[in-house]
Amino acid sequence: MTPAPFNTLPGDPLPMARAFWLRADDGTRLRATHWAAGGASASVLLFTGRTEYAEKYNRLALDLNAAGLDVMTIDWRGQGMSDRLLDDPRPGHVAHFSDYQRDVIELVVAAQELALPQPWHLLAHSMGGAIGLAALHDGLPVRSAVFSAPMWGLGLSQLMTRLARAMIVISRHTGRLQAIAPGSGGFDPFVLKQGFLDNLLTGDGTVWGRLVAEAAAWPEQTIGGATYRWLSGALDECRRLAALEALPLPLLVGLGGQDRIISAEAIRQRVASWPGARLLELPESRHEPMMERAAIRDAFLTAMIGHFHAAA
């Protein structure tokens, strides 16, 4: 593991994170980041969402450190500081959704080499929720799991899903699977195109301002809309995950009442089929409860930390 950069904005305190490069078995270079609590009693493997990167979770990681938990994450292939998969670095792309499990393996190996305090727990947001559920079924060595707005289904109507699949078929026949799918955001990061009032992520203006500042300061870490290939893989993966059985693992899922990105129905069905699972409804939250206004964020953070400690 060789050192990697970890960005800060002007005025930020010195980072407590240690970032380093990993190499997947197919040669893809990945950036991992570790926040050490010092005397931690357990560790959290953080699976981030599409478009995201380690710096976005610095505040959350420090809060988990304060609760006695080490935190480790990875920039998924195709985003953040990890290798991009197309000549044009702007589209969000992956060749196969199963490739993300290659990244999971490298994260687990690095966590073992760093001797992260055990037990380990999973915290997964949005697309990371799909990757995380698949990883659990592949034997991810964690004691419990918390999911934040997991992508177990996309927030599309049946009509829009059928239309998306038809467009994917056309793009495959025309050799355009690497093109950005209409409606997914174009080439530029959406935080630089949307106003605060219209954004789908958070109702906290300060957090939104921070996201905009990061995207403007670190354009090399941002991505735009998703390709047809990514969309095809996401739809297929959500359908595959829906057929998987529950696992004997303590589960907490946070769901925002104003989330229009993922399928609330798919989340409720999964929680209902998982013995002992708890669904934490957050009526005023948009897609990112961990980046929301203080009352929402604190409620989810308190439930999360309590869940981890109870499982340990």
Domain ranges of the chain: 2-311
DSSP of the chain: -EE------TTPPPP-EEEEEEE-TTS-EEEEEEE--SS-SEEEEEE--TT--GGGGHHHHHHHHHTTEEEEEEPPTTSTTSPPSSSSSSSB--S-TTHHHHHHHHHHHHHHHTT--SSEEEEEETHHHHHHHHHHHTT---SEEEEES--SSBS--HHHHHHHHHHHHHHHHTT-TTSBPTTS--SS-GGGTS-GGG-SS-S-HHHHHHHHHHHHH-GGG---SBBHHHHHHHHHHHHHHHTSPP-SS-EEEEEETT--SB-HHHHHHHHHTSTT-EEEEETT--S-GGGS-HHHHHHHHHHHHHHHHHH-
Per residue in 251-288, pLDDT tens?
A: 999 999 999 999 999 999 999 999 999 999 999 999 99
pLDDT at 312: 81
Q: What is the pLDDT of residue 183?
A: 84
CATH of 2-311, one of 3.40.1620.10, 3.40.50.1820, 1.10.3720.10, 1.20.210.10: 3.40.50.1820
Q: Which pLDDT belongs to residue 221?
A: 97
pLDDT of residue 242: 97
| pLDDT value at residue 115 | 97
pLDDT per position in the chain (312 positions), as tens?
A: 899 999 999 999 999 999 999 999 999 999 999 999 999 999 999 999 999 999 999 999 999 999 999 999 999 999 999 999 999 999 999 999 999 999 999 999 999 999 999 999 999 999 999 999 999 999 999 999 999 999 999 999 999 999 999 999 999 999 999 999 998 888 999 999 989 999 999 999 999 999 999 999 999 999 999 999 999 999 999 999 999 999 999 999 999 999 999 999 999 999 999 999 999 999 999 999 999 999 999 999 999 999 999 998
The pLDDT of residue 178 is 96
**What are the pLDDT digits (tens) for 182-229?**
988 889 999 999 899 999 999 999 999 999 999 999 999 999 999 999
